[in-house]
Structure 1
Amino acid sequence: HLPYNRNGFKFFTSDGGLNKTDIKDILERASRVYEESAHCGKQEQTGVVTHVDYMSIYASDLVQAVLKSAGNKEKPLEGLHIVVDAGNGAGGFFVDKVLKPLGAVTDGSQFLEPDGLFPNHIPNPEDKAAMEAITQAVLNNKADLGIIFDTDVDRSAAVDSSGRELNRNRLIALMSAIVLEEHPGTTVVTDSVTSDGLTAFIEKKLGGKHHRFKRGYKNVIDEAIRLVSLLFLHDSDCPVTCPMIPSSMKCKL
């Protein structure tokens, strides 16, 4: 979602994303290794590089999750026309590796090829031009639904068949309604900029709990994980969810 001249990297381990302190530690270690190798001369390489088609594994996991939720129906999205706007970010895989295997028609999907210069629009679901692009794609193709991703596919928004945006508070409200129907009393963790109206909807309309925390997707995820760990300590059923928390850290979800 940043301009092309500010592209960067995010680092993850099996325990989750790394923060600034972790990155600083990695850079300091790398610097020491470089200095030592420069003083000691060329050393024999002992590391091993393994190439893994992780995207196919990840996409397959998404497909299996949807199939399970749909009662293992073979093509749960059959008959639905869904267009995707990846904004030339990393989300183009979603069309061929997720939606099509689930039976959806995806004609009209656009900007699926990664291009770090973002020639069509910034891949940001909160950007006006980006939302106009996916809305127009839905209307032009008479699609049932449109989905737009940010650059690294950790944020998204949707557009319904009439062109109405399902974004920000609306999207979290929709997700909360789905989760709370299956798991009453769940705590929904979001960042601090969500609206009071969302809180009222989650708590008064749906009977859940809304826990707002400081901005930053990793802050929200870490807070949800912290709450989950506290609930584990109290031998709870662990009713906590977060729109961005890894599925491996969710309980009952």
Structure 2
Amino acid sequence: MNSPFKAYDVRGQIPAAINAAFAYRFGQATAEFLKADAVVVGHDMRMDSPALAAALSQGLLDSGCDVLPVGQCGTEEVYFHTARSGADAGLMVTASHNPPDYNGFKMVLKGAAAATRDNAFAAIEEMVYADRAMPAVDDYARRGVVRPLQDRASYVERLLGEVSGHALKPLKIVCHAGNGCAGPIIDLIEPHLPFTFIKVDHEPDPTLPNGVPNPLLPEKRERASRAVVEHGADLGIAFDGDFDRCFLYDHHGRFVEGYYLVGMIAQRMLRDHPGATILHDPRLTWNTIDIVERAGGVAKACRTGHAFFKQMMREEDAVYGGEMSAHHYFRDFAYCDSGMLAWLDVVTELSATGTSLAELLEERIAAFPCSGEINFTVSDAKAVQQRLAERYAAQDPQVETLDGLGLVFDDWRFNVRASNTEPLLRLNVETRGDQALLKAKVDELTALIRA
């Protein structure tokens, strides 16, 4: 069996890799490794998630650690309550957008700092699979106690604070929750916002009657896009199961490439935080850098991945960081990612500029068209990267090695990086306002990669 412990989380199939016994022992190992006094625990809407959260909690309690349960929630709610409560860690039971027979745990440490293999998972994995009994308290009085965090008022207040003092336009918005956990939060903030919501697959449903809540699947995109057009909405929002990511559609039903959202949110944040630092990933950069520098901010590249962003956000005290994969990080949200804050910032920016999402999108696509991420199955990603570096060396490009290989020319650039989990090479290409050049370079690189 492959271990469910990954670089930044725990995930695997039920019941072979993830089950109640595993969750119980994971809770014990977490308490022992962290010497934890209190841990926040939440879970998504999946069929097995409440039972796994209960087993996880029992392992913590039996180890003398208090449990602060949030109940059914989004991952960002666990982040929020971990930072706010001062707990030693936060654990979210979720399979996010994975298939129905998967589940797992997302974890943050004290202050909602990122948990990684280096600072947590390797040690916890060793404890979980060690051939020994885990220590448990032998005195009933020393057992952990349950201290519920069911009240969502503080979290909702934080969301609404993102738009406080801003004049919002009365927009019509399609919300495609995918039968995940986002729907109830939309219901809670709806009375406080001047928006009309068209709700699609809105109620959390453990049976997933409309399929896996993955907004990137073609059939999911089509469903959200069609709803926007049919209802004459100003825009659409789609969430994955635990809503730490959101995806947007303009009023034409066109899917908005995550790259361009980073620039929009950066511009919004710099209105309130002049001169602040903005982080972006190195795959596609020119649009973000252009917007940030025009707005008087400082743009800095960060290696792709939530652990790297959460760490660098703290080191740079960055006000915002965005990845084209739809993870958006906020300084005033414990430097963590939030799908809810992201779309609220976009509608705030639309209201401030008086333009539509489509208009903003078309302007930025015209200035910096991009390929979007193109995946290739390769047997040796490093060999392909080396071949590309040698092929373009004579043109003396600027070489970027922060994450994969990036080559920068006067009027175009590209980045290729290997997937951390699959035998894939991921290609991103962009130009300075030249669609024809973009197509030519995508074709050229495709031929070289497949050679």
TM-score class, shorter-chain normalisation, is 0.7 to 0.9
CA distance in 2, matches of 1:29, 1:54: 34
* Residue of structure 2 in register with 1:127 after alignment: 217
Q: Which residue of 1 aligns with 2:287?
A: 198
Tell me the matched-pair count. Answer: 230
* Equivalent position of 2:182 in the other structure: 91
Corresponding position of 1:245? 330
In the alignment, the residues of structure 2 paired with residue 81 and residue 248 of structure 1 have an alpha-carbon distance, to the nearest angstrom, of: 27
> What are the superposed Cα offsets for residues 204-238 of structure 1, whole Å, 9 maximum, x if unpaired?
5444333222221232121111112xxxxxxxxxx
**From 147, 152, 158, the counterpart of 1:50:** 147
Distance change in 2, residues 1:57/1:249 (3 Å): closer
Gaps of 5+ in 2: 1-96, 322-327, 336-344, 346-451
Larger strand proportion of the pair: 2
CA apart distance, 1:115 = 3.4
- What is the TM-score normalised by the length of structure 2? 0.45
Residues 1:213 and 2:291 aligned together: no
In 2: Cα distance, 1:211 partner to 1:224 partner: 10
**Does residue 248 of structure 2 align to residue 158 of structure 1?**
yes
Alignment of 1:1-253 (within 5 A): 1-16=97-112, 17-20=114-117, 21-26=119-124, 34-37=133-136, 43-44=139-140, 46-66=143-163, 68-70=164-166, 76=168, 79-106=170-197, 108-116=198-206, 118-193=208-283, 195-203=284-292, 205-228=294-317, 240-242=319-321, 243-249=328-334
Q: Secondary structure at the match of 1:98?
A: helix
Sort the Cα spacing of 1:248 and 1:170 in 2 relative to 1 into closer, same or farther, 3 A: closer
- Aligned residues of 2:237 and 2:247 also touching (Cα < 8 A): yes
**Does the residue aligned with 2:192 lie in a helix, a strand or coil?**
coil
Partners of 2:206 and 2:308 lie apart in 1 by 26
> Deviation string for 1:182-217 (max 9, x for gaps)?
334332212232x14324433554443332222212
Q: CA contact under 8 A between 1:157 and 1:171: conserved in structure 2?
A: no
- TM-fit CA distance, 1:14: 4.3
User: For the Cα contact (< 8 Å) 1:111–1:120, is it kept in 2?
Assistant: yes
Against the structure 1 CA distance between its residues 180 and 57, is the aligned structure 2 distance closer, same or farther, given a 3 Å change threshold?
A: closer
Deviation at 1:96, TM superposition (A): 0.6
Indicate conservation of the 8 Å contact 1:84/1:110, yes or no. Answer: yes
- Which structure 1 residue ranges, 5 or more long, are not aligned? 229-238
* Distance in structure 2 (CA, Å) of the matches to 1:201 and 1:143: 30
CA, structure 1 residues 157+59, in 2 after alignment: closer, same or farther (shift >3 Å)? same
Cα distance in 2 for partners of 1:61, 1:204 equals 28
Aligned partners of 2:108, 2:244: CA distance in 1, in Å? 13
- How far 1:13 moved relative to its partner? 4.3
Task: Report the CA distance shift for 1:191/1:54 in structure 2 as closer, same or farther (over 3 A).
Answer: farther
Displacement after TM superposition at 1:62 (Å): 0.9
What is the alpha-carbon distance in structure 2 between the residues aligned to residue 216 and residue 120 of structure 1? 29
Give me the TM-score of the superposition, normalised by structure 1: 0.75
Q: What secondary structure, in the 3-state scheme, does the structure 2 residue paired with 1:9 have?
A: strand
Q: Distance in 1 between matches of 2:225 and 2:295?
A: 29
Whether the aligned pair in 2 keeps the contact of 1:4 and 1:116 (CA below 8 Å) is no
Cα deviation digits, residues 102-130 of structure 1 (max 9, x gap): 23221x31122223554324433433332
Shift of 1:26: 4.6
CA RMSD of aligned residues (A): 3.1
Assess if the C-alpha contact under 8 Å between 1:82 and 1:145 holds in 2: yes
1:235 aligns with none
Percentage identity across paired residues of the two chains = 27
Conserved in 1, the CA contact under 8 Å of 2:181 and 2:241? yes
Question: 2-side partners of 1:216 and 1:182: how far apart?
Answer: 26
Task: Look at both structures and tell me which one has the larger radius of gyration over its CA atoms.
Answer: 2
2:7: which partner in 1?
none
